Amino acid sequence: PRKIIIDTDPGQDDAVAILLALASPEELEVLGITAVAGNVPLPLTQKNARIVCELAGKADVNVYAGCAAPLKRRLVTAEHVHGKTGLDGPVLNDPAMPLQDTHAVEFLINTLRREPAESVTLCPLGPLTNIATALQAAPDIAPRIREIVLMGGAYFQVGNITPTAEFNIYVDPEAADIVFRSGVPLVVMPLDVTHKALVTKLRNDAFRALPGPVGHAVAEMTDFFERFDKEKYGSEGAPLHDPCVTAYLIRPELFTGRHINVEIETRGDFTQGMTVADWWRVSGRAPNAMFMGDLDANGFFGLLTERLARL
Ligand code: BDR
Ligand code: CA
């Protein structure tokens, strides 16, 4: 299996992404989960990460807490989408499993130095603060990372937190800039893709009908989470942003995109955190990211339902 570290700010869609990874041990070996501030503050995201591990029946996965605030800015959170806890919807028990003592950034650096070069893939599902901090503190880890597969950005679909920016990139654009300039191979799941991964009523019924507590909890999470997108975009259901990352690692053929140049706007008055994607290759700048544009939604939900049934 492919070795991964999931860096996350759960978040209902983060939770589903983690569940999918933990349900897929043949393809993915989760070396650890690092929490970052994002959808809700760090004390909640690290707790939520542990709740999700226990929900999956995998209390032996190590969870580390990382950065509590973006590199240079005040934290912006998204309770308006995810609720006060970040995981509003289902009734979930407080976790019994411990939080690891090591800081997430230290864990990232140590693991990348210890594991064979180019064997570990990073999966950021929130603001890129932990990853950028690790790259800054230990530049030697960059060439050791196999790939960074992240959820963030938007191009034709534009923004969800400002007219031009997607939440994860907007919250810490300086961190995103460091990651996008790092030279590490990047695969990016922007809103253009994730807004095609919509939990329709039929798909949510399929989750709810699964045996065991996981399908039910996922259905309750999406019931809560979909209100925002239904009201805002008139969309058919909740977009499963972050599970696109873990689905890609299991079934890359579900996604199509272009290897292009993507720059992060850190200064614009109206465009902070925008992912300026050179989709038509007009800039002459060297490609730095596989920027996805489309997915096979039925294949994606088929995979997700089949895997959640295993937990
Ligand atoms: C991203 O922001 C968060 O609210 C979600 O968890 C996802 O990672 C979507 O813009
Ligand atoms: Ca997230």
Closest residue by CA, ligand 1 atom 6:
11
Cα–Cα distance measured from residue 227 to residue 38, given in angstroms and rounded to the nearest whole number: 19
pLDDT at 235 over 90: no
Encoding tokens for residue 132?
A: 């950028």
The neighbourhood of ligand 2, an ion, using CB within 5 A, equals: 9, 11, 14, 125-126, 242
Cα–Cα distance measured from residue 18 to residue 33, given in angstroms and rounded to the nearest whole number: 9
Catalytic residue set:
241
Give the mutation target among 125, 161, 232 for probing the ligand 1 site: most ligand atoms within 8 A of CB: 125
Give the mutation target among 39, 129, 130 for probing the ligand 1 site: most ligand atoms within 8 A of CB: 39
pLDDT at 19 over 90: yes
pLDDT at residue 80 in the model? 94
Distance (Å) from CA 9 to ligand 2 centroid: 5
Alpha helices in the chain (DSSP H): 12-22, 42-55, 79-82, 104-114, 129-137, 167-171, 173-180, 191-194, 201-208, 213-233, 243-250, 297-308
Distance (Å) from CA 21 to ligand 2 centroid: 15
Cα–Cα distance measured from residue 193 to residue 151, given in angstroms and rounded to the nearest whole number: 10
Cα–Cα distance measured from residue 106 to residue 104, given in angstroms and rounded to the nearest whole number: 5
Place of tokens 């809700």: 40
What's CA 78's distance to the chain center, in Å? 14
Q: What is the pLDDT of residues 117-133, one digit of tens each?
A: 999 999 999 999 999 99
If you ran DSSP here, which 8-state letter would residue 66 be given? -
Distance (Å) from CA 130 to ligand 2 centroid: 13
Q: What is the CB < 6 Å shell around ligand 1?
A: 11, 13-14, 39, 78, 81, 125-126, 151, 160, 166-168, 241-242
Distance (Å) from CA 83 to ligand 2 centroid: 13
How many alpha carbons fall within 13 Å on the CB side of residue 31? 20
Closest residue by CA, ligand 1 atom 4:
39
Reported as a pLDDT band with limits 50, 70 and 90, residue 158 is confident
Q: What is the pLDDT of residues 260-274, one digit of tens each?
A: 999 999 999 999 999
| Proportion of the chain above pLDDT 70, given as a percent | 100
Question: 87 with 12: CB under 8 angstroms?
Answer: yes
Distance (Å) from CA 209 to ligand 1 centroid: 26
Cα–Cα distance measured from residue 64 to residue 106, given in angstroms and rounded to the nearest whole number: 9
Question: 35 with 67: CB under 8 angstroms?
Answer: no
Encoding tokens for residue 84?
A: 């006060």
Which ligand is nearest to the Cα of residue 239, counting in written order? 1
pLDDT at residue 227 in the model? 81
Atom of ligand 1 nearest to the CA of 78: 4
Atom of ligand 1 nearest to the CA of 39: 4
- Give 274-279's long-range contacts (Cβ < 8 A, gap of 24+): 274/159, 274/164, 274/165, 274/169, 275/152, 275/153, 275/154, 275/155, 275/165, 275/166, 275/169, 275/176, 275/188, 275/190, 277/153, 277/155, 277/190, 279/155, 279/156
Atom of ligand 1 nearest to the CA of 166: 10
Reported as a pLDDT band with limits 50, 70 and 90, residue 157 is confident
Question: 39 with 125: CB under 8 angstroms?
Answer: no
ipTM: 0.99
pLDDT at 57 over 90: yes
Residues whose CB falls within 8 Å of the CB of residue 4, separated by 6 or more in sequence, listed in order? 21, 28, 29, 30, 31, 120, 121, 122, 123, 249
Q: What is the pLDDT of residues 72-91, one digit of tens each?
A: 999 999 999 999 999 999 99
Cα–Cα distance measured from residue 169 to residue 150, given in angstroms and rounded to the nearest whole number: 10
| Proportion of the chain above pLDDT 90, given as a percent | 95
Inter-helix orientation angle 213-233/297-308, to 10°:
150
Cα–Cα distance measured from residue 104 to residue 125, given in angstroms and rounded to the nearest whole number: 14
Q: What is the pLDDT of residues 175-231, one digit of tens each?
A: 999 999 999 999 999 999 999 999 999 999 999 999 989 999 999 999 998 888 888
pLDDT at residue 199 in the model? 96
> What does the chain come to in residues?
311
Q: What is the 3-state secondary structure (H, E, C) of 197-266?
A: CEECHHHHHHHHCCCCHHHHHHHHHHHHHHHHHHHHHCCCCEECCCHHHHHHHHCHHHEEEEEECEEECC
pLDDT at residue 280 in the model? 96
pLDDT at residue 221 in the model? 96
pLDDT at 138 over 90: yes
SS3 109: helix
pLDDT at 307 over 90: yes
Atom of ligand 1 nearest to the CA of 14: 6
pLDDT at residue 190 in the model? 98
Looking at residues 6-13, what average pLDDT do you find? 98
